[in-house]
């Protein structure tokens, strides 16, 4: 409810492919995650199979709203929130589950564009043992002041460090974070305070299938700054359903700044963006069996 945040949600997209078929990207993973969030927030479980078939029916019914232009899609927002007419801080007895749909354009209307990132030394997003690994309403309101402060300094997004040692990188607003070193691609391991992104999971699978040396591990901000100094830092990027892949142009930590390029996206980010969107729009065979078709 509004007062104490008994609210969880998901996000995913429906794509109209070139063949005219409508496809969802790994929707079963979103419903699984919704139930994991529900479990932690004392919200009743949904029947994943039933909701997936209801979602498919809904998309079929509303299919005229799915834009066909490249980079466009239908945004899908399942949400669950408590509706008890009471003020007590306890699990609600009644909840509403609804699915909001909205046509969306490409995240970067001027084309795939790298973003400048500010590493917050003041704000943290979540702590182990808390609810950082859930898509629950309060996590996002809690990150807004950090974003506002970063925007004033000319940065689009905030990279959060771990809340305990303020040493290890965790994630960016609503994106998971990847570092490409000279001989390794690394992303923070899911330590309980990081949201387990479905794009993250898919990028890991793609990179492994391409033969990259990929690791999920602790990455300290100092390691990144050092690697940059030594010339072994190749590129940084974020992953998430909204932008799919966001290449990072600049990263500011305290008084140091890593500058890649404001104009050009990293090589691997560009390749991953193309691979994922080619699968989503049906331009490429879905060898991983990730797409669910509405028909
Ligand atoms: C949703 C979200 C992500 C990305 O998850 P995807 O399933 O890849 O869209 C990453 N971090 C946070 C905090 C999120 O809320």
Give the nearest ligand 1 atom to 125 CA.
13
Best mutation site among 195, 237, 244 for ligand 1 pocket (most ligand atoms within 8 Å of CB): 195
Q: What is the DSSP letter of 163?
A: T
3-state secondary structure of 53: helix
The lowest-confidence range among 51-65, 178-192, 251-265 is: 251-265
Mean pLDDT along residues 128-132: 93
Burial of 242 (0-12, 13-18, 19+ CB in 10 A): middle
Cα–ligand 1 centroid distance for 158 (angstroms): 14
pLDDT tens-digit series, residues 211-253: 999 999 999 999 999 999 999 999 999 999 999 999 999 999 9
Quick check: 170 and 197 in contact, CB under 8 A?
no
pLDDT tens-digit series, residues 141-150: 888 999 999 9
Give the nearest ligand 1 atom to 139 CA.
13
> Half-sphere exposure of residue 293, counting CA atoms within 13 Å on the CB side?
10
CA distance 55 to 76: 9
In sequence order, which residues have a C-beta less than 8 Å from that of residue 284 and are 6 or more positions away?
A: 275, 278
The tokens of 6 are what? 């008994």
Query: Of all residues in the chain, what percent carry a pLDDT higher than 90?
Result: 87
* Phi/psi-derived region of residue 166, left when phi > 0, alpha when psi is between -120 and 50, beta in every other case: left
pLDDT tens-digit series, residues 61-118: 999 999 998 889 999 999 999 999 888 888 899 999 999 999 999 887 667 789 999 9
Query: Of all residues in the chain, what percent carry a pLDDT higher than 70?
Result: 99
Pairing of strands 115-119, 184-187: unpaired
Quote the distance between the C-alpha of residue 150 and its chain's center. Answer: 19
Neighbours of 67 (CB within 10 A): 14
């Amino acid at each position: 409810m509004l007062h104490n945040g008994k609210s969880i949600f998901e996000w995913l997209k429906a794509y109209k492919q070139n063949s005219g078929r409508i496809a969802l990207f790994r929707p079963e993973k979103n419903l699984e995650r919704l139930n994991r969030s529900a479990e932690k927030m004392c919200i009743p479980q949904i029947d994943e199979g039933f909701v997936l078939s209801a979602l498919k029916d809904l998309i079929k019914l509303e299919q005229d709203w799915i834009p066909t232009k490249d980079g466009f899609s239908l945004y899908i927002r399942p949400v669950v929130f408590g509706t008890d007419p009471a003020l007590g801080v306890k699990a609600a007895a009644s909840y509403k589950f609804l699915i909001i749909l909205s046509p969306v354009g490409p995240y970067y209307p001027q084309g795939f564009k790298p973003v400048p990132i500010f590493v917050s030394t003041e704000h943290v997003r979540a702590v182990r043992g808390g609810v950082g690994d859930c898509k629950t309403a309060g996590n996002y309101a809690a990150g807004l002041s950090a974003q506002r402060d970063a925007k004033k300094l000319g940065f689009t997004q905030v990279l959060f460090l771990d809340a305990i040692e303020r040493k290890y990188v965790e994630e960016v607003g609503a994106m998971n974070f990847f570092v490409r070193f000279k001989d390794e691609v690394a992303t923070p391991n899911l330590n309980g305070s990081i949201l387990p992104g479905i794009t993250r999971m898919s990028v890991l699978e793609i990179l492994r299938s391409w033969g990259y040396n990929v690791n999920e591990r602790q990455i300290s901000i100092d390691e990144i700054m050092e690697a940059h100094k030594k010339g072994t830092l190749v590129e940084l990027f974020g992953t998430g359903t909204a932008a799919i892949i966001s290449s990072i142009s600049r990263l500011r930590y305290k008084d140091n700044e890593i500058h890649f390029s404001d104009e050009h996206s990293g090589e691997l980010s560009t390749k991953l963006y193309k691979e994922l969107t080619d699968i989503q729009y049906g331009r490429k065979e879905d060898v991983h069996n990730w797409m669910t078709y509405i028909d």
